Every structure is written in C-alpha cells, then in structure tokens.
Amino acid sequence: MIEKTQGYIIARKIYRDTSLLLKIYTREFGKIEGIVKGVRKIDDYGRYDGLLDLFSEYEVVFYRRRRSELKLFVQFYLLNSCWDFTRDYKIFCVLSSGFEFLDFIMPWEQPSRNVYELIGEFLNCLDVRSVESYYYAFLFKLLKLSGFNPQIDECILCGEKVLREAYFSVREGGLICPRCKDRIRNLRKLSPGVIRSINFLEQEPWINVSRLKLSTEVKGELKKLVRDFIGFHLNYIPRTWGLLDREKIFNK
C-alpha cells in the first residue's frame, strides 16, 4: 500500500553498503521508520530532492511492507531545508539533543498535529543567541504535549498557587508549597526565577522565548531539575546530554 505524507527527518543511520535507515516524524502518521535503498550510490542521488538531511522537512512517498515494520521510502520532495543548521556545530548539537528526546518520548505511529507544528516552530524560531532558552522551551512544550510535564503552577498536594517560595519533589513530579513541605521527604528548594522561567518556557509562544534571560543560578537549577525529572519519571538519560556538557554548548 502506497502512502504520501509530510515529515521531518529526526534520525538517520547507514544501512549496509548503499542504503539508509530513517526515522521521520510525519504529519499524518506520527513517528515512522523505514529504509531508503540505494541512496548512497552516487548515480542514484538524482532520484531524491536534496540529500535527505537531518531536521529537514520533506514530502515523503512510502510503501508499507507485509513482513516488516520498516517502511520502504521511495520518493522525497524537499519542502524546508535545514542544511545551514547542520553546518553550525552549536545548533547541530542542540537540535540533535532535542530530536533524540523527541524520538524517545513519542510512540510509533501515533500522530499529533500539535507535535508536528511544534517541530516546525522550533526550527523556524531557533536563534543561536538564545539557544539554551529555545532548547528548554522545546523540552517543556514537548513534555506538556506528551502528558509528562511537571506541575509547576500550583502545589500538587493542596492546589495552592505558588508565587514565591516553593519546593520541588522529583518523585511526585511537581511543586510543594511551604505549608505542605513537611508532608514529603527529599524536597529541593526552587528559586522564584526557576518557577517563572519554567512556566514561561512551557506556556509562552515561540516569538517571546528570546526575551527570557536566564541567570547563571537559574541555568544551574533548571538543568538539574530537568535531568533529574526526566531520568526518574521516564527512566531515560539522553546520550546527547553528555555531548552538550563535553562541548560546553550552553557556556559558549
């Protein structure tokens, strides 16, 4: 059965001598995986529009195969190129980390138009001058759309709005107000700046993200909270976090 859709290439891997394995997040089908045969032959490049670059958006034609979950990709038409992003090492590292998390958190073949639009907005708005803010905005917005986001706007025990002093429970996945802090162990205190920043990144439209200026202290708290929360609730540590640290991507 032949299908046509639009999608972003979120991962690619060499397969045998001349082929590629691609993961694509599509508008109609969600995340799918398939093989492109012969794409690495020099004389076959003409069959495809562009070189199947990571993060770029294509119109994709593919077949479903009876005996394999892998799709057979047969035609690509380039819609939006992200070639320039792949040449900027800092941007490339950030996108690789964001798309690795997207690949992990989104299930196979469960489409979400909101997630598809989120990818496009992230790519269109990403600014090297505020790359850390955009990265965390993508993570928090994706967590919210997938239903795994931490509760940051009110106390998870009593429902009271938290405006200033607050604590966070990694296990419970949300804020604890001062009145409830003795009811739960292993809390960490969060500064008002971190609370405001998370709410801002999760809720504000992309056009406003560049306005958020993160202090050194807030960056440290935010990084630890995100990693501990995702590690505990999703039992997952993205490999690219090590790359971001080693290359000091957010310190440049």
For the chain, the domain total comes to 2
CA-to-CA distance for 174 and 169, rounded, in angstroms?
A: 6
39 or 73: which leads in pLDDT: 73
CB 15 within 8 A of CB 21: yes
**Mean predicted confidence (pLDDT) in 63-81:** 90
Q: Tokens in use for 129?
A: 């001058």
Using CB atoms within 10 Å of the CB of residue 196, give its burial: 0 to 12 exposed, 13 to 18 middle, 19+ buried: middle
Q: Does residue 166 sit in helix, strand or coil?
A: strand
Which residue's entry shows tokens 């798309």? 99
Domain boundary among 54, 87, 120: 87
Instruction: List C-alpha distances in Å: 98 to 71, 128, 163.
Output: 24, 15, 29
Closest CA to 5 of 67, 81, 79: 79
Q: Which domain holds residue 6?
A: 2-87
Whether residue 122 is found in the same domain as residue 233: yes
Given this model, what pLDDT does residue 163 score?
73
77-106 pLDDT, tens per residue? 999 998 888 788 999 999 999 999 999 999
36 or 128: which leads in pLDDT: 36
Domain of 56: which CATH number?
Answer: 2.40.50.140
Average pLDDT over all residues of the chain: 90
CA-to-CA distance for 47 and 150, rounded, in angstroms?
A: 45
Domain boundary among 58, 87, 116: 87
pLDDT higher than threshold 70 for residue 47 = no
Percent share of the chain, pLDDT over 90: 73
Whether residue 81 is found in the same domain as residue 193: no
Domain boundary among 71, 87, 103: 87
CA-to-CA distance for 117 and 201, rounded, in angstroms?
A: 16
- Which residues are CB-contacts of 1 (< 8 A; sequence separation ≥ 6)? 63, 64
Domain of 232: which CATH number?
Answer: 1.20.1440.120
Given this model, what pLDDT does residue 180 score?
94
Whether residue 76 is found in the same domain as residue 115: no
**Mean predicted confidence (pLDDT) in 143-160:** 93
Whether residue 45 is found in the same domain as residue 130: no
Q: Does residue 26 sit in helix, strand or coil?
A: strand
**For 191-196, which contacts have Cβ atoms below 8 Å and span 24 or more sequence positions?**
191/217, 191/218, 191/221, 192/163, 192/164, 192/165, 192/166, 193/217, 193/218, 193/221, 194/218, 194/221, 194/222, 194/225, 195/152, 195/162, 195/166
* Local confidence band at 146 (pLDDT 50, 70, 90 cut-offs): very high
Question: Which pTM value belongs to this model?
Answer: 0.91
Whether residue 78 is found in the same domain as residue 158: no
CA-to-CA distance for 38 and 8, rounded, in angstroms?
A: 20
pLDDT higher than threshold 60 for residue 42 = no
Whether residue 31 is found in the same domain as residue 97: no
Given this model, what pLDDT does residue 41 score?
56
* Local confidence band at 45 (pLDDT 50, 70, 90 cut-offs): very low
* Local confidence band at 127 (pLDDT 50, 70, 90 cut-offs): confident
Given this model, what pLDDT does residue 85 score?
81
Whether residue 68 is found in the same domain as residue 125: no
pLDDT higher than threshold 90 for residue 22 = yes
pLDDT higher than threshold 70 for residue 50 = no
**Mean predicted confidence (pLDDT) in 187-192:** 92
Given this model, what pLDDT does residue 247 score?
92
Whether residue 6 is found in the same domain as residue 34: yes
153 or 240: which leads in pLDDT: 240
CA-to-CA distance for 55 and 22, rounded, in angstroms?
A: 11
Q: Does residue 165 sit in helix, strand or coil?
A: coil
Amino acid at 102: L
CA-to-CA distance for 152 and 167, rounded, in angstroms?
A: 10
**Mean predicted confidence (pLDDT) in 154-161:** 92
Whether residue 125 is found in the same domain as residue 199: yes
CA-to-CA distance for 173 and 151, rounded, in angstroms?
A: 6
CA-to-CA distance for 134 and 8, rounded, in angstroms?
A: 18
Whether residue 66 is found in the same domain as residue 128: no
* Local confidence band at 49 (pLDDT 50, 70, 90 cut-offs): very low
Whether residue 107 is found in the same domain as residue 229: yes
- Beta strands across the sheet bearing 174-176: 151-155, 174-176, 166-169, 188-190
pLDDT higher than threshold 90 for residue 57 = yes
Whether residue 63 is found in the same domain as residue 125: no
**Mean predicted confidence (pLDDT) in 14-31:** 91
Distance of alpha carbon 131 from the chain centroid? 13
